[in-house]
Structure 1
Amino acid sequence: MADTVLIYSRFPKSLMARIGDRFDLIDAAGKPPAETFSPEQLKHVRTLITAGGQSLKSDVMDMMPSLGAIICYGTGYDGVDFKAAAERNIIVGNSPGANAASVADLALTLMLAVTRRILPADQYLREGGWSSAKPSPLMSPQAGNPGRKIGVYGMGEIGRKIASRAAAFETDVAYHSRSRHDVPYRYIDTLAGLVEWCDVLMIAVRAGPDTQHIIGADLLSKLGPQGYVVNISRGSVIDQEALVAALAGKTIAGAGLDVFEKEPQAPDALTAFPNVVLTPHIGGHTLDSHGAMQDCVIANLTAYYAGQKLPYPVVV
């Protein structure tokens, strides 16, 4: 039982197959572990794998008295109660940068889709509007990318890749983060300043208490009626009610969203807007990203059970 690993979050079995070749996995399938396993089974669990955004607090940790390591599948770790983990001498690891390229690709995809009105154009063709020359205001010419101002909020691995991809489209890129980085882009020292400057706000900041609903009605109004917001970070960063109000009032031009305040996201007011492109949190959902994330998980687990330092620890 020394190498028993609890799968805490709900993952497709295919994503755990490689890890299961190396370790004895028991799967809670997203339910509280005590509902699925007996105290006798849980007392032997020394490690668990979680999706970083899922809430993991002290009550869960206390179900496993031998728990020594929480390993996040992916870069995020905002759901983990680090204070509770530290009090119990539990270390936390993640998969830094493993899915950065895939997430950045999706960010640009969302930007292009919403600014070029790809979904309305697809519908216009499918419904016969093009063939019948039916007038449509949604088919009016839109601004192109050359000279477009792209504001990147957060300059970690994902933010850097978004910026480099955006620059390749002949855009003007600037960023805001907690500190200045050695990157070839303009640094704007306030988030409000970045929002006022940009045409498209790309949200790539790490989620936490300090960024909860930081993009609210005031900042959305600063983005303006020609501005777009793209979020591939966490849904908590945007006040979703304020976003809906901004879209309904045409305070902003549109949005591309891969993440939401409550996931999975049920059809609601957001799905009614033709100027909004929505994807079901698939930013890192590519074969190469999953392979890289699994490599990090396996490396962290292997090191822990060997009594070594985690190669990918989270330091907060």
Structure 2
Amino acid sequence: MAVSSNVLVRRRSPVAVWLAENGALVALVVLVVGLSLLSSDFLSVTNLLNVGVQAAVTAILAFGSTFVIVTGGIDLSVGSVAALSAIVLAWGATPAGWPWPVATVAGLAVGVACGLVNAVLIAYGKLPPFIATLAMLGVARGLALVISQGSPIELPAQVAHLGDTIGRYLPVPVIVMVVMGVVAAVILNRTYAGRAMYAIGGNEEAARLSGIKVDRQKLITYALSGGFAAVAGIVLASRLASAQPQAATGYELDAIAAVVIGGASLSGGKGRALGTFVGALILAVLRNGLNLLSVSAFWQQVVIGVVIALAVLVDTLRRRETS
């Protein structure tokens, strides 16, 4: 049966292969066309820019999560790490009186440090990624509340400008999202660390036997996830004009959903930055379109949950087909 299955896979037409690899992009186009027909406001410049801004934080978090999921891991802590990083930046620049560049570096460093702690627990402590990152979710959120004493902290003006718009049509969060997406794509496609991520996700033991230092690569992978989470947290805080300890609650689920909707496999070894970007856009377009259509927020959660379930089902069927 395995031989005949492989034969069937090899005989698929180029169009079928392209659709299998770019299904998320096709879904996004269909979604945009459908919503533009249902709502005359959807394709307005103002609304499309709003969609981009809404997608920015989720996309940046999801780019970091892509690294982890490609290795076959999971990171549930990115939302809490994003909030903690922003709180450290704001606390350092406002109550502590640090220069804003120093406070910004400190916020980014906290994100990377949280990722490294996750990696140490997973690679050397042999904890399952789910458990290690779930623990960090609680620790990071708790530290954010302790440092801020449960209250928002004002951002320095220089950092708050990240939430601005250049001219009339160029939101800074969208620029940051695109830059981080390019960085993620370069890491995945053009670096040794990226190739190692795919190898580890494909078969960790085979990667180790081929000479890849798996534990060291996991340190890099989770540190990148934490760093991207820190950037996302700072962008979100700039949009809110303050760092809030409860910010980004639940965003880790949106990030994972964007990666899976974008075509990555939860079993590892598969995933692209472009697919993740498309997945984040699908979530943002869905929420925006449902709001324009006056759909209840409760039903919006149902719709998005169904979309995520379908994405995971497609991934499962695709893996069965190629096994």
TM bucket by the smaller chain? under 0.3
- When normalised by structure 1's length, the TM-score is 0.23
Q: Using CA pairs under 8 Å that are at least 6 residues apart, name the structure with larger relative contact order, 1 or 2.
A: 2
Q: Normalized against structure 2, the TM-score is what?
A: 0.23
Which is higher, the Rg of structure 1 or of structure 2?
1
Would you tell me which structure has more helix in proportion to its own residues? 2
* More strand, by proportion: 1
